[in-house]
Structure 1
Amino acid sequence: MKRMLSTSDIYLYRESVDFRKSINGLAAIIEEETDLPLGSGALFLFINKQRDKIKVLYWDKTGFALWYKCLEKDKYKWPSKEKNSVFTLTQFELDRLLSGFNIIGHKPVEIHDFTMT
């Protein structure tokens, strides 16, 4: 399944989100709180408050799709103290994150002006 999630642009949304939100709610977060290109085919990663679930939102040329993973016993290592709300990841870092490895310490996106509401 991880190979299906391959693109050159991968964005990690740092704040936890209410996982009752689905495609429209998560897309609204990206549209309202960032200036990222929502329909570009980029992957947008979201985490729940407990950090044991991850959702990946992306545009697949025919519509939005949502990928969901729930860890059985562990928690995702998610950046929580940095001030930027969005980070860029490489495909390698995405694969490591989805496999449970720590990617904290990654530099945040610096080319966009992100605001929290």
Structure 2
Amino acid sequence: MKRMLSAPEIYPYRESVYFRKSINGLAAIIESDTDLPFASGAVFLFTNKQRDKIKVLYWDKTGFALWYKHLEKAKYKWPTKEQNEVFTLTQFDLDRLLSGFVVTH
């Protein structure tokens, strides 16, 4: 995943999601809860309640792709729900996040 994808925008979804949801369920969350554009090639990040797993969803012009990562001992630092502004990451931030590092803004 790292450096295999060049995304114009990277959006972490602020709430934890039920991790049995697959592509259609995660896409429905974005469509119903946000005004963010799917067709732009944006990447959407989801995490579980324990914050030790992450799913990465994006549209690649031919269909949706879904990536999954589980941290063995660490937890992902995630933006809180109370923050109202749209939170985006850079490609560098995404690479660090997927490597298990804390991303700060």
| TM-score, scaled to structure 2 | 0.91
For 2:31 and 2:85, how far apart are their aligned partners in 1?
Answer: 13
Which secondary structure does the structure 1 equivalent of 2:13 belong to?
strand
Does 1:13 pair with 2:13? yes
Q: Does residue 81 of structure 2 align to residue 84 of structure 1?
A: no
Q: CA contact under 8 A between 2:19 and 2:48: conserved in structure 1? A: yes
Q: Hey, what does 2:39 align to over in structure 1?
A: 39
Give the Cα–Cα distance (whole angstroms) in 2 for the partners of residues 85 and 46 of structure 1: 17
Counterpart residue number, 1:112: none
* Structure-2 residue corresponding to 1:51: 51
1:80 Cα deviation from its structure 2 partner: 2.4
- Identify the residue that residue 109 of structure 1 maps to in structure 2: none
- The answer to whether the 8 Å contact 2:8/2:40 transfers is no
* CA shift for structure 1 position 83: 2.5
Distance in 1 (CA, whole Å) between partners of 2:71 and 2:85 is 23
Inter-CA distance 85–49: structure 2 relative to 1 (3 Å threshold):
farther
Give ranges in structure 2 of 5+ residues lacking alignment: none
Matched-pair identity in %: 81
- Where do 5+ consecutive residues of structure 1 fail to align? 107-117
Instruction: For 2:5 and 2:72, locate their aligned partners in 1 and report how far apart those are by CA, in whole Å.
Output: 21
Query: What is the deviation of 1:22?
Result: 0.5
Report the structure, 1 or 2, having the larger strand content: 1
RMSD: 1.5
* Cα distance, 1:54 vs structure 2: 0.2
**Structure 1 counterpart of 2:22:** 22
Instruction: Show CA shifts across 1:11-62 (max 9, x none).
Output: 1111100011110110011100110001221100000001000000000111
Aligned CA distance change for structure 1 residues 85 and 71 (closer, same or farther; 3 Å): farther
**CA separation of 1:75 and 1:92: change in aligned 2, threshold 3 A:** same
Q: TM-score, normalised by structure 1?
A: 0.82
- Once residues 19 and 49 of structure 1 are traced to their aligned partners in structure 2, the CA distance between those partners, rounded to angstroms, is 9
